[in-house]
Structure 1
Amino acid sequence: MSQLPDITPENQTELEELALTLEAFQGKFLLIFARCNYDSLRSRLIQCLQDSSLADIRTITLNPDDTALYQRIQGKLQGDKPGALMVLGLESVLSLETMLAGADLVREEFRKHFPFPVVVWGAIAKPNSLGELEHFVLSRSTPMGVFMAKTAQLQTSLSQMALK
């Protein structure tokens, strides 16, 4: 993967590690959490992964009222088995604790029915949600990848938010 001009070296390193992990786990389940607080950066990172991978990388977006991660994924894929799945919108889920507890209860179903890596992207701003997520991640999945925006990207994002 070549260096992208608008991505920091740190993000490039994280992205390359994520790409290698996705490649290494083709045909196997792996749950990965990635933290990125900026939609535009997350979109560029996912697009870069999709462009550089031979695998079919799909995305789904969680709804605020979703409470069951497994069922949401199963319902969206309807039996399809992509090379990897990007799950967006974790920060919008109103019952995060319920979702994580439910995912824990059916974790063997993930392994049985999802033979591909699942990357759950989130922009976690609430401290208690981050604590719940960290506990879940440390005990059930691979460590989080953390992606940060460049100062100029952050300024642009803040300016766009101010205009809304």
Structure 2
Amino acid sequence: MISLSNSENSTVNTITLTKRLARAMRLSGGEFSLLLVCCNSIQRQQQVLNLLTEFLSADIHEIVLSPGADKLYTAITTEIGATQPEALMVRGLESVVAINQLIISTNIMRNEFRKQFRFPLVLWVNDEILCKLVWLAPDLKDWAASTIRFDLPNNQLVKSEQQAISA
């Protein structure tokens, strides 16, 4: 039986999930879709974004939200203007000070996203933001396909580290 090391297994998993993300973005086909990508590490996010360019030749626009952002829709429309990129990645949600307000306003404005945007919207979230989406914006969360998770939830990560230490 062939056994992969944790590092090799992690790399294979990252490639598989990145291909899944690329496929989901391609399937949008000029229509709005919401994709949630959960990753607790900023460095891992960058690694995935670099890898994504190998699997997807689309014009991917990226926005990094400022800590002062309070409305996602406004931040996006201000950034892209009248252009319609092939895909849009939004990062930095974890740094937004008024994150609850931003999530609630996004849920309220969700129909405008579908009316105005003809591209996949990829929201990069961590575990905390994902939980807030479930509680504060369940309608918006329901629009997204299943969340693509690039690492274990924090509570599972802690358990696995504790098991490794005690082994």
With the length of structure 2 as denominator, give the TM-score of the two structures. 0.76
Residues matched between the structures, number: 143
Alignment match, 1:97 = 100
Q: Deviations over 1:2-59 (max 9, x none)?
A: xxx7952222221111110100102010111111111221112112223432210111
CA distance in 2, matches of 1:48, 1:66: 28
With the length of structure 1 as denominator, give the TM-score of the two structures. 0.78
Question: Would you say the 8 A contact 1:50–1:56 is kept in 2?
Answer: no
Question: Would you say the 8 A contact 2:60–2:86 is kept in 1?
Answer: yes
Alignment match, 2:133 = 133
State the identity %: 30
Q: Deviations over 1:64-119 (max 9, x none)?
A: 11110011000000111111111010111112221111111111111111100011
RMSD: 2.2
- Aligned pairs for 1:43-62 (under 5 A) are 43-62=46-65
Identify which of 74, 77, 82 aligns with 2:77.
74
Measure how far apart 1:133 and its partner are.
Answer: 1.8
Measure how far apart 1:130 and its partner are.
Answer: 4.0
Alignment match, 1:8 = 11
Q: Structure 2 counterpart of 1:131, which letter?
A: C
Runs of at least 5 residues in structure 1 that lack an aligned partner in the other structure: 150-164
Identify which of 126, 144, 147 aligns with 1:144.
147
CA distance in 1, matches of 2:141, 2:66: 24
Cα 1:95/1:79, change in 2 over 3 Å: same
CA distance in 1, matches of 2:98, 2:67: 8
Q: Structure 2 counterpart of 1:140, which letter?
A: W
Alignment match, 1:30 = 33
Determine helix, strand or coil for the equivalent of 1:71.
Answer: helix
CA distance in 2, matches of 1:80, 1:52: 23
Question: Would you say the 8 A contact 1:32–1:144 is kept in 2?
Answer: yes
In the alignment, is residue 17 of structure 1 matched against residue 42 of structure 2? no
Q: Deviations over 1:105-149 (max 9, x none)?
A: 11111111110001111234x4xx442223436433222111129
Alignment match, 2:163 = none
Q: Structure 2 counterpart of 1:73, which letter?
A: I
